[in-house]
Structure 1
Amino acid sequence: MAGAADSHAARNLERRETHHEADVVVVGAGIFGCAIAFALANQGRSVILLERWMHEPDRIVGELLQPGGVAALRKLGLEHCLENIDAIPCYGYHCLYRGEEISFAYPPVNSEGDVVVGAGKRTKESGEGMMNGHVKGAVRPEGRSFHHGRFIMQLRKACMAHPNISVFETEVTATIKGEHSDAVLGVQTRTKDPATGNKEPDCFFAQLTIIADGYASVFRKQLLGTTPVIRSKFYALELIDCPFPPANHGHVVIGDQSLALLYQIGTHETRALIDIPTNHPAASPANGGVRGYITNIVLPSLPPHVQPSVHAALADGKIPKSMPNSWLPSQKQTRHDGVILLGDAHNMRHPLTGGGMTVAFNDAVLLASLLAPAQIPSLAHHAAVRDAMAAFHWRRKSLTSIINVLAQALYSLFAADDWQLRALQRGCFRYFQRGWTDEPVAMLGGIMRRPGTLAYHFFSVAFLAIWLNILDVCGGGVMGVLRLPLALGQAVLILWKACVVFLPVFGTELR
């Protein structure tokens, strides 16, 4: 039996290396591409993984992996890729809101992976078993933050070491279709000839082609017909030996007109991501451009002990590297036989909450289970793959709808540009101050899958914001009663704004 298995593996290797044929061709050796290639290879599938450029990437996003992503990475058998890259544990979030601050940790999970809510509170039901955040059999999960390129190289190293995967450095240019059907049979590429340095035409064939060519996908229009919505960009600074307690937390800094995200990505390095809305007047050339915006608007909102590191990072005089912050709702993929488009090419959300990689790894876990050989022996069975993709579209939403809606809704609140949004922004911070954080942070971390709970908490924030605004408008004393009609009118406007922020995105995610 062992000899037969070895012979089969040898034939598959020859097919991949010599004839460029496999069960699956994966385009893009990034986060999702590596994950799905490894997952399918673990099932015994023969996999070809194609990447345009195998050098270590230098990107400013994909550097914070939430606990739900770490758990998915463990299921994929790739958790070891977090080792030996100077990755930093992340235990929760620290929010600095116009000079006030609050920290909150990821809530503990029990042995089944379920979130234990209110573990830091004594209740009649909990007795002594839930004191100081300790619950019998429960542990607090952790995320990880790191240099994106180092992590990618670890994922690629794992794929290159897998006996069922062959990796090629080549530029994919088009899909290949059969003469008698529209089913995709593989891809055309251009591969560099080591002898001449010229790129020569090449082809790779498979029963199923999975394209994961990233946020700037060249295949998205062809396969999905969708375009990302971009409201802002993140501009990145790398701060050296920057003190920002509490350690091992993601830091969100909300100023009067600014939004910044900071988290440690190495022993000495901290990433600062500064959100600048598209065509913001304070970032115009007349006001000093991006550097002027950071210096004049963002810097004053940062703690004094952080500001020297920001000044040092700006000392080179260059415009910081940037990435567009995109929203791209997912689409059901049952129209094109032989090919599917996934990862950031398929679905994106604002990176404020660091949920992108968590979505990608959970998608890889789910898709691999739906395409498992026990379910679909041959991936050339297009009808079976279509059924699997229909199930994938709906089953992933228990997690991705939460992460996507949270990212878009929180961005609208944190980057508030009108008085209703500022009221909701304050309501959100006061909500957290009151200790109602376990479920929201669990959803943020990708460890709770209850979309209805997200709606409950969002509108609880909205009604708290309305109440706080009524108190402000009416104040104390007899005259406050006379201002009650104004307060009630503003309450309607705040609730309407909350609906405008939440319901369209929530509805889109549930389609």
Structure 2
Amino acid sequence: MSSTSTLQSTNEQRRRLHHEADVVVVGAGVFGCAIAFSLAKQGRSVLLLERSMEEPNRIVGELLQPGGVDALEKLGMADCLEGIDAIKVNGYQVIYYGNSVNIPYPANEKSEAPEGRSFHHGRFISRLRKACAKQANITIVETEATDTITSTFSPQVLGVESRTANPSTGRKEKDYYFGKLTIIADGYASKFRKQYIDKAPIVKSKFYALELIDCPLPVPYHGTVILGDAAPVLLYQIGTHETRALIDVSENTPTAAAAAGGVRAHLRNVILPSLPPAIQPCFEAALADGKIPKSMPNSWLPPSTQIEKGVVVLGDAMNMRHPLTGGGMTVAFNDVVVLSTLLAPERIPDLGDTDKIQAAMKVFHWKRKGLSSIINILAMALYSLFAANDRQLKSLQKGCFAYFQRGGNCVDGPSGLLAGIIRQPLVLFYHFFSVALLSIWIVMQDVIGSFFGLWKLPLAIEESILVFYKACIVIFPFIFSEIRT
């Protein structure tokens, strides 16, 4: 037996018998599986803890942008997209009050168009977990982590306490897992977040989900965004026959109130008539089961730089944005690429070196921003425009659609940002305020109308100032939230 095999066998015994490893990862989801796999490939001993190994049944985390596909390839996990009936994604189609514009992903220098993938979330997670299970340096344990374990002499985290089902009795009993570094990646509903992060998610709406069967999308292999008087609707194919419909319903929507018949009445009476005629029969059929559709909160959680010893909170537990742009998994996989490089053995031989870990995390939280800040800001800003609920936001929404209609760089730039291909925050700033200026020009034309309407110029100027001000208050809070951390 080689020395490597001997070490792997010894470490496996330590994980199984003594519950000790270099790294304890809490949560075998997108981020947890990816970081466990990446660190294990570097030779680290990893304990991957997951509350339930059953295939998850979630309604988001179903679209991976081209930048995420590229990151998955860098991690050596690209084959996880195979065998799950994943559908290629070539861009977006935006329908604005019946008018449509195509927003393909921009071609690279070789004139090759990048592709994203969409799929059933649970199938993808199962493939990620299988990839981890094949790694000799990973031991997966089905257990419910309940708390962190700290040193008696210092606040350093040594691992986690959990509850594991006793195979004989079925009862859950206390268990303990120890690691030099503990990575918390327990998702959007993290039970550990409050302990280590002083920010809480902000939720102003939910996505309600339907699964449409054999639905004819306006443009195949494109996500479809439908804009109108109601909040945005997002459609994308997740299998050969299945298409996901996500309907944004904001808090206190009158037509979704219990007195008005609830969410189902809102979907039938408000959303259904706003959809393209070819989609309506499939949408109505999906409503025929009489059930309230599954939902997920649309959360905003700015990123945080962490200074705790022995533990880091990452993935959706640390940073979330509105899922309208489908950027969450792209951020997660790129975060793993960055973090695994910073934690590589040649940089940090011993993961118990808390000073080096803390220094690496500070670098990580700024280095990741080349991509994460763009996707965070873009997701929240676009949602503000697409879910416009006042006159100035409606003007910006109209200007955004007109900007896309111009084609060329007006499409390639925003599409490249959305795809995780362009990683220059100033490009986002440029395109956002180009949209704002075009919106102002449209407002001026709409208010004045013609030469004979020049007497309305003061009103046009006033409205233009309000539109520009609204653009500023839409984007700058999200920019500041990235700079502060």
Which of the five TM-score ranges fits, normalised by the shorter chain?
A: over 0.9
Q: Is 2:252 aligned against 1:294?
A: no
Q: In structure 2, how many angstroms separate the alpha carbons of the residues matched to 1:268 and 1:148?
A: 15
Counterpart in the other structure of 1:187: 160
Q: In structure 1, how many angstroms separate the alpha carbons of the residues matched to 2:231 and 2:175?
A: 48
Identity, in percent, stands at 60
Counterpart in the other structure of 1:119: none
TM-aligned CA deviation for residue 341 of structure 1 = 0.3
Aligned residue runs from structure 1 range 263-274, under 5 A: 263-274=236-247
Report the secondary structure of 1:310's partner residue: helix
Counterpart in the other structure of 1:362: 334
Q: Is 2:77 aligned against 1:75?
A: no
Q: In structure 2, how many angstroms separate the alpha carbons of the residues matched to 1:109 and 1:388?
A: 32
Aligned residue runs from structure 1 range 273-352, under 5 A: 273-334=246-307, 336-352=308-324
1:464-509 per-residue CA deviation (whole Å, 9 max, x = no partner) reads 000001001101132x110111000000000000000011111111
Would you say the 8 A contact 1:259–1:275 is kept in 2?
A: yes
Counterpart in the other structure of 2:443: 469
Q: Is 2:202 aligned against 1:229?
A: yes
Q: In structure 1, how many angstroms separate the alpha carbons of the residues matched to 2:57 and 2:275?
A: 26
Q: Is 2:132 aligned against 1:159?
A: yes
Q: In structure 2, how many angstroms separate the alpha carbons of the residues matched to 1:16 and 1:145?
A: 35
Q: Is 2:226 aligned against 1:253?
A: yes
Counterpart in the other structure of 2:365: 393
Aligned residue runs from structure 1 range 453-464, under 5 A: 453-464=427-438
1:65-94 per-residue CA deviation (whole Å, 9 max, x = no partner) reads 000000000000000000000000000000
Would you say the 8 A contact 1:259–1:298 is kept in 2?
A: no
> What amino acid sits opposite 1:250 in the alignment?
G
> What amino acid sits opposite 1:458 in the alignment?
F
1:228-249 per-residue CA deviation (whole Å, 9 max, x = no partner) reads 0001000000000011121000
- Deviates further, 283-292 or 62-71: 283-292
Q: In structure 2, how many angstroms separate the alpha carbons of the residues matched to 1:466 and 1:382?
A: 52
Q: Is 2:389 aligned against 1:417?
A: yes
Counterpart selection for 2:404 from 428, 432, 443? 432
Q: Is 2:344 aligned against 1:372?
A: yes
Counterpart in the other structure of 2:235: 262
Would you say the 8 A contact 1:401–1:510 is kept in 2?
A: no
RMSD: 0.8
Counterpart in the other structure of 1:117: none
Counterpart selection for 2:354 from 370, 377, 382? 382
Report the secondary structure of 1:270's partner residue: strand
Q: In structure 1, how many angstroms separate the alpha carbons of the residues matched to 2:94 and 2:19?
A: 51
Counterpart in the other structure of 1:130: none
TM-aligned CA deviation for residue 312 of structure 1 = 0.5
Counterpart in the other structure of 2:64: 65
Would you say the 8 A contact 1:93–1:250 is kept in 2?
A: yes
Counterpart in the other structure of 2:184: 211
Q: Is 2:18 aligned against 1:19?
A: yes
Q: Which runs of 5+ in 1 are unaligned?
A: 111-136
TM-aligned CA deviation for residue 313 of structure 1 = 0.5
TM-aligned CA deviation for residue 138 of structure 1 = 3.5
Would you say the 8 A contact 1:146–1:265 is kept in 2?
A: yes
Report the secondary structure of 2:451's partner residue: coil
Number of equivalences: 482
Would you say the 8 A contact 1:173–1:188 is kept in 2?
A: yes
Q: In structure 2, how many angstroms separate the alpha carbons of the residues matched to 1:204 and 1:53?
A: 17
Q: Which runs of 5+ in 2 are unaligned?
A: none
Q: In structure 1, how many angstroms separate the alpha carbons of the residues matched to 2:274 and 2:146?
A: 46
Counterpart selection for 1:198 from 166, 171, 179? 171
- Normalised by the length of structure 1, the TM-score is 0.94
Report the secondary structure of 1:94's partner residue: strand
TM-aligned CA deviation for residue 258 of structure 1 = 2.8
Q: In structure 2, how many angstroms separate the alpha carbons of the residues matched to 1:47 and 1:399?
A: 27
Counterpart selection for 1:491 from 451, 464, 469? 464
> What amino acid sits opposite 2:347 in the alignment?
Q
